[in-house]
């Protein structure tokens, strides 16, 4: 049985009640300038307005609730991350009084590192990339006796899916929704929620050209790992899909769109100009996908997920400086 086979509408509604104790429902807004510039009816789901500026926090809140109500609650949690997953666990652990240790690679965003520490987690910097950080976190798990938390699990996806439930309940008749694909919880939450609500909305995953594993895998119909990733969008810098996530995406997504770093930067600027929202690279990836498919979407009612506002000003200024504006 697949990881989400027992995920039903009742459990989703219950998860929303749990999440909303700590995370208020986020805004979905129809920005006039975006609609005008893209020549379609654009609705933005503002997951950048959660306490961690990303939908990941919903998964952490629901997971922590399930763990603390279990017969044997964990003494602590440990995980590796590039950012938003770590913030999610840190925020949730802090609220529940459960110690959290997060391992990040050496080149991780300082903005993310500061946020993780601010939520009360122990931050450990180790390794040149995510895989080395993850391996170190598993070694520490035995030393600490903490429960290791992967970036994709049933409880995390159900919690994250509450944003999709809010969005699809509030905005009717969306033709297509664009969402970034990192480890898969965001897009899988959309796919499952759409199916539970009996909607026909098409779900389009968007990845960075420098991290093409999901696009290659979707086209091939099987997991195709890549040797490396090279993109400014840390949140989608994935080199190999998890089988459980990929199976859901392969069956439920309409297509996967790839965008360049230049297109991602263009979408970051579009958000800033048209909505005055600051998006990190991964947060702007879905809008970059919509902009790339502007002609295909002309005149349609379209949703984009803005999840991720964790970018320091110097980096944002450097990126926008690359544009010919």
| Same fold for the pair 9-54+157-320 and 56-148 | yes
> What is the rounded distance in angstroms from the CA atom of residue 121 to the CA atom of residue 140?
15
Tokens read off for 280: 């990190």
Which one is the CATH code of 56-148: 3.20.20.70, 3.40.50.1820, 3.40.50.300, 3.40.50.1100? Answer: 3.40.50.1100
**Interhelix angle 243-252/213-220, nearest 10 degrees:** 60
Among 81-85, 173-177, 247-251, where is mean pLDDT lowest? 81-85
Report, at the CATH architecture level, how domain 9-54+157-320 is classified.
3-Layer(aba) Sandwich (3.40)
Decide: 206 and 178 in contact? Cβ < 8 Å.
Answer: yes
Expressed in percent and rounded to 5, the helix, strand and coil fractions of the chain are: 50, 15, 35
Decide: 194 and 201 in contact? Cβ < 8 Å.
Answer: yes
> What is the rounded distance in angstroms from the CA atom of residue 74 to the CA atom of residue 41?
46
- Name the strand (E) or helix (H) holding 7: none
The residues, any chain, with a CB within 8 Å of residue 105's CB and separated by 6 or more, are 82, 125, 126, 127, 128, 129, 130, 132, 133
Above 70 in pLDDT, residue 309? Answer: yes
What's the order of all strands across the beta sheet hosting 176-180?
A: 28-29, 41-46, 301-306, 176-180, 202-208, 255-259
- pLDDT of res. 85: 93
- Classified as helix, coil or strand, 315 is helix
pTM: predicted TM-score of the whole model, two decimal places: 0.95
- pLDDT of res. 314: 87
Decide: 124 and 104 in contact? Cβ < 8 Å.
Answer: yes
- pLDDT of res. 1: 44
> What is the rounded distance in angstroms from the CA atom of residue 215 to the CA atom of residue 219?
6
Residue whose structure tokens are 């898969």: 184
> What is the rounded distance in angstroms from the CA atom of residue 83 to the CA atom of residue 283?
13
Domain ranges of the chain: 9-54+157-320, 56-148
* HSE-up of residue 270 (Cα within 13 Å, Cβ side): 28
Q: What is the pLDDT of residues 224-281, one digit of tens each?
A: 999 889 999 988 988 889 899 999 999 999 999 999 999 999 999 999 999 999 999 9
> What is the rounded distance in angstroms from the CA atom of residue 207 to the CA atom of residue 122?
30
Among 12-16, 133-137, 223-227, 308-312, where is mean pLDDT lowest? 308-312
């Amino acid at each position: 049985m697949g990881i989400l086979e027992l995920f039903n509408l009742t459990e989703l509604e219950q998860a929303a009640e749990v999440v909303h104790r700590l995370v208020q429902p986020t805004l979905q807004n129809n920005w006039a300038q975006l609609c005008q510039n893209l020549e379609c009816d654009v609705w933005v789901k503002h997951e950048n307005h959660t306490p961690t500026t990303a939908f990941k926090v919903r998964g952490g809140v629901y997971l922590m609730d399930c763990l603390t109500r279990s017969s044997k609650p964990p003494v602590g949690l440990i995980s590796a991350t590039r950012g938003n997953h770590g913030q999610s666990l840190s925020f949730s652990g802090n609220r529940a009084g459960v110690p959290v240790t997060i391992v990040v690679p050496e080149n991780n965003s300082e903005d993310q590192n500061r946020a993780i520490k601010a939520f009360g987690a122990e931050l450990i910097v180790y390794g040149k990339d995510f895989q080395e950080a993850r391996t170190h976190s598993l070694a520490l798990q035995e030393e600490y006796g903490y429960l290791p938390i992967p970036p994709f699990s049933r409880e995390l996806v159900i919690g994250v899916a509450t944003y999709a439930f809010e969005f699809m309940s509030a905005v009717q008749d969306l033709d297509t929704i664009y969402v970034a694909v990192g480890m898969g919880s965001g897009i899988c939450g959309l796919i499952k929620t759409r199916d539970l609500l009996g909607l026909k909305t098409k779900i389009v995953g968007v990845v960075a050209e420098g991290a093409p594993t999901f696009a290659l895998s979707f086209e091939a119909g099987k997991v195709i790992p890549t040797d490396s990733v090279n993109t400014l969008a840390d949140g989608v810098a994935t080199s190999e899909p998890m089988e459980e996530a990929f199976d859901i995406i392969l069956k439920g997504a309409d297509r996967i769109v790839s965008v360049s770093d230049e297109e991602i930067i263009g979408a970051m600027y579009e958000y800033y100009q048209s909505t005055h929202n600051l998006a990190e690279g991964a947060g702007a990836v879905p809008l970059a996908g919509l902009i790339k498919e502007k002609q295909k979407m002309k005149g349609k009612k379209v949703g984009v997920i803005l999840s991720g506002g964790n970018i320091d000003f110097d980096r944002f200024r450097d990126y926008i400086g690359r544009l010919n504006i």
